[in-house]
Structure 1
Amino acid sequence: MFLIFQQVNIFGVFQLLSVHFLALCGNFQLLNFNLWQMMGNFHPLLVHLPIGIFLFGFALECFSRFKKIPLPQQISAFTLATAAGFALFSVISGLLLAQDGAYNQDNLSLHRNMGIAFTLGAFGLLFIQQYKAVWTTKAFLPLYAILVLLLSITGHYGGNMTHGEGFLFGQNDSSSSLSIASLENTMVYNDLVKPVLDLKCVACHNEKKTEGGLLMTSPEWLLKGGEHGPIFPTNKDTLGTLLTRVHLPLEEKEHMPPKSKKQLSSQEIVLLEWWIQNKACFDCSTANLEANEKVALALQSFLEDNSPIKQWEKTIDPVPQDWILALASKGITAYPITFGHPMVIVNARGKQNLTKKDFKLLKKYQENIVEINLGASNMNDTLAVFLKNFEHLLKLQIPQTPITDKGMEYVKSLDHLLTINAFATNVTSKSLDIISEINTLENAYLTDTQINKNTMEAFVAKNGKLRLHYISEDTFAQTALDPPTILSKTDFFRDSLAIEMAYVFENASLFYTLDGSTPDTTSIKYNRPFSIDKTTVLKAVTYMEGWGLSAVAEADFKKSNIDYSKVELLEIPNEKYTANGGKSLVDLKRGSTNFVDGMWLGFEGKNSEAILTLSKSEKVNSMAVGTLSAPASWIFYPIGLEIFSSNNGIDYKKIAQQSYSPEEPNNDVKKKFLEISFPEVAATHLKVVVKSPLKNPEWHPNPGGKSWIFIDEIIVD
């Protein structure tokens, strides 16, 4: 079929028809290059219309036959005629677009002829649908299916030209990152620059698609440049076309790579700048070119990560949420080392009722656990037998536990262990012989044990690769006052809430404020428990003569006496972080700083929107939204709130809007309420839009990656 089309020069026929069509409309005199280009630019828009309509029509035909429900001929004819008509316009616009010469002619010819074949086939199918005969009735659906297949293949080749080879079937995976085994004598172009260009640029600048007349597949083509001239700077005062376009704002049309494509990372941009500043040398190695600190850091980021965690990440699946919640119900927390990572850290510190059942529950996903903290627990020699199950354990913390040398015997089977902390336990010098058998061990904390200083020093002299952290008792002496502990049953209340404060030293004085101001010795002195009956920010400090003031302890208590009949989430949270759906926003239960505790709603790369339906009309003037920040896990505080009110659930009016500054560089896990006030308004429905940063900031180790927002409780007052 395709050979027939080529022999009769279908391309020329359709091009001639398009010219006559314009002439008949009286616009032939306007047929210049710019008009052709403008009309051709509509091809990416038009081409999706026949695809959707034709597939919809085919689905209707299949459904009617499967359900044995006759499809009205008018509907069938309308869908076919509409699809064929838009296919014709798509062909014409495609022929015009092809005039810019930016496409490989072999691929273009195949895509063009298949598109024309489909268009003629669609009109032919419409004729068959109108022509009533026995053979047309039998042949109609099979021919329809053949055209669907032809349409799919045509779209595939079109996608290849636009997005690169293998677009439909994912062979052009641009998500890969540059990774090299060593920086020593690495060839800058072949080993570093070329892989970046291949991943981020060549899809649009290759032999089959030459955007702007620029090929980037070899040094010769790079030096030749494109239709806009050389891409490298011609003098020291210019960046050159390549870097200029890379540095344009993402919204600019000429920004490269295009907004829809995978962008260069900050490290890759530094690499290109460094290479181009060194005259785009194609035969230089890293040893030949001087690198400043910024460049050195960028180059380090390209080194291949061969750590055990990186290898395990490739083969081990993440733990299920149900397992994390089951541990939480037993007072044990588990969370991934970074957001979405399969390897987890387990914390049972202070748990005095550890049992075999707890370790059997942990054993279900033992290969995922890389760190366990059992400090100040009842961890003993009997329970220590379970430690040998954790084959991927890198760090073990068992300080201030009853464990002895007998229990330490089970530790030596941990082949990947890097750090062990057995501070303030009853282990003796025998344990030094045990840990010396762990070839991977780098750090051991054995202060305040039955091992004396001289024995430790002799051991270090003999085992130079292992660092024994020996800390004097003075290190643990109190050097500053700790802030007081604020105690309450909950963070939320309806009428009133009792508050207590405590401190380890009875002769210390506690001072506090209830208005959010910083307390000092002139503030309210704490003598006995007290109650609050309104939303309150409580701040407290400890004071002792000769010690001064402690750091400030802070607690945020919210009064909530509004009832809700319904909470609707307009944006669906990620399936891993759904908590209890919309109810989680008004259940008066605060999430912890552990984002996998099942209390948070998590949204990746998008805003959060919810409608709160009040049980009755209420006068409101403020709202507080509970949020979380954990930059290492790609979670950031929201950057804005928008509040809308309604009295019928249909017509909403914006009543407040507030923006918040993006986070400064930090790696802290913390939570807070974002608060917004507005003129009092009566409403039965409130819509809240929580604005996400959407992407990780530039200071983040993964700049530009999809960031998350985590939302917990919404308090309306």
Structure 2
Amino acid sequence: MPSQKRLSAILQNLLVVFHGLTLVLAFGHEHLQIPAILEFFGRMHPLILHFPIVLLLFLALLFWNPKIRFLENKPFSNILFLITLLLTGLTVMAGLVLATEEGYERDAFYLHQWTGVVLFWLSTIWYLLWEKEIYQGAKIFSLLSIILIIITGHLGASLTHGEDFLLGPLMKEKNKTQVSLEEALSYEHVIQPILEQKCVSCHKASKQKGDLRLDGAAYILAGGKNGPVIDINRAEDSHLLHRILLPIEDEKHMPPKGKLQLTDIETEILISWVRESAFFDKKLVDYPEESNLFRLAKNIFTASDGKNYDFPFASSSTVEKLNNEYRVIQAIYPDAPALRVSFFGKKQFNSKALDELDKISEQVVELNLNNMPLTDEDIKKISRFNNLEKLFLNATSLTGNTLGHLKNQKKLQSLSLSGNPIKESSLAELGQLSQLKNLFIWNTGLSGQDIERLKKSMPDTKIETGFEDSGERYQLNPPIIQAQNNIFSDELEVSLKHPIGTVSIFYTLDNTKPDSSNHILYQGPFKLNKNTTLRARAFANGWLGSDEKSSSFFKSGIKPVSYQLTFPPHKSYPGNGAGTLFDQEKGDEDFGSGKWLGFQDQPFEIIIDLDKGKQVESIAFSLLAAEGSHIFPPKQVEIWTKGETGEWTLIQADRPNQPNKLRNRELLLLEYPITGQHPIQIKAVLKPVPQIPKWHPSAGQKAWVFIDEVLIN
């Protein structure tokens, strides 16, 4: 018994010491220089914290369950209680030491720190009340201690694993937004979820290992203490790829050993995204079909949104034989037995081509016969495709008299009949297709009265009729701009097209918006002989005018004698140095293609030497705007010239218009006159926007200026 008392006294004295040390660390750990041995102790925090949690919960169970008389052995229970409190104190002190390491945000750590400290205090009070046999008070403090264990544990898990770690799975399901493949963005809907699950727990606002955050596009672009994590110009050198491809045993491998690892598919997706320019605002469907990222991401969406088909795969040899120049058969998504069949070549089509599909009739779920010369009898053949879901019969000359044969196609959800001379007598046939969810009957010749009758007979079907006199109108697609190149030396022919041949195309060549009061009516190909920003829109009666389509064309007239950049471009977007600006190779919307120079921390400033006596009329800059990727027009442009007198003269100072919302990527042309001068040197300065404006998700970050050509005329 005396030995137990001595041990209890020693433990009580240690407990007092631990409380003192805890107070010192709680209020002063930010100002302490922690030796290596204490860093080792601090990193034991995740290991030892489980002991006091289990023991405190165990003591609470004993305390609240009168049937368990374990605590009646006072000497033993006293020592167990003290050991539990000492372990709690050690855990709190280790956590406070761990907080001195880099990578933890003070504000996020604050609550976890003090709930841990208060837990230590409350559990000590619980012990003191129990020892003095004030059991009612001890019960209250035991309950408060258990509540704090839960709160402290939740805050700690949020620090380590991410906010709302405990409720994350429930909240994820509640807030999960279903996005179709057509609407999915490569970063937001494919890359970001992977980073959130596997990387953000260590790279977020509250815990920035390596000064790196991966919880937003702005932070990914900013990089960490080792520089940018993505090198678009040399994808294989990207820090992100280097870390995830290291062997898992390597201490620099990410995610660290012991954390949830990337799957093979996730790794391949990240690699493909970086290699394909790491777009932050690009839709998946805008990637080419042969893109590895598109192929992998498409699998993800079809795996979550796609259907499970219960019919077998068609023979690959059969599908291969049925494919030809005029008929394309392909799976609706990889590893699916369901097939999509599309016909091309109106002159080559005949009804036998449908008979040939009998071998795969069970697998065909989408059939596109647009513009094929069908007869009403062909509908009987189509009705043999029992799993058909979508049927496209636009502009096929059908009258609709045999459409009733499709009534047994219970899986048919969408039918397109636009552009066919559907007869009033066919309404009864159409009315039998009650299984349809969508019916498209644009330009079929049916009267408004006929359509109203049809809607009454098909109340559960959404019937699309195009423009109606009710006032509902549909928007035209923008016109297509065609030219051999965007850079020319003498003149360039440009043509405009639109898939609807009856539209009127309005365009401007002075960078103003084309509308009914300001336009040139397109009547055929035209030629350009100077720097031009072409803006075009399509209009037609009964339709909303299209969105604008624009393109910039550049005339390259005067070649400089020499040129020199005052500041080098950012190391992630160096292009081919200053030579990129005069190589007459126009960059596209892919700013990581190597054809663009990027500037962020320093302005773009170039000094150009010209032949003496050469008259200069203008200087122009080909720029990229992509606000979603932090690429803005320059905040300020300055044009200086130097004549034979040797003095620099500021001849232009401009502040280009800035966007007030996220827009699609756009190629810009900024042109400035240099009238009546024969300069021997020109200096151009383009200053990036120092802080992205408040409306942007990454407000306050530095913007970029991207330039690919300088043209002097």
Q: Shorter-chain-normalised TM-score: which range?
A: 0.3 to 0.5
TM-score by length of 2: 0.43
TM-score when normalising by structure 1: 0.42
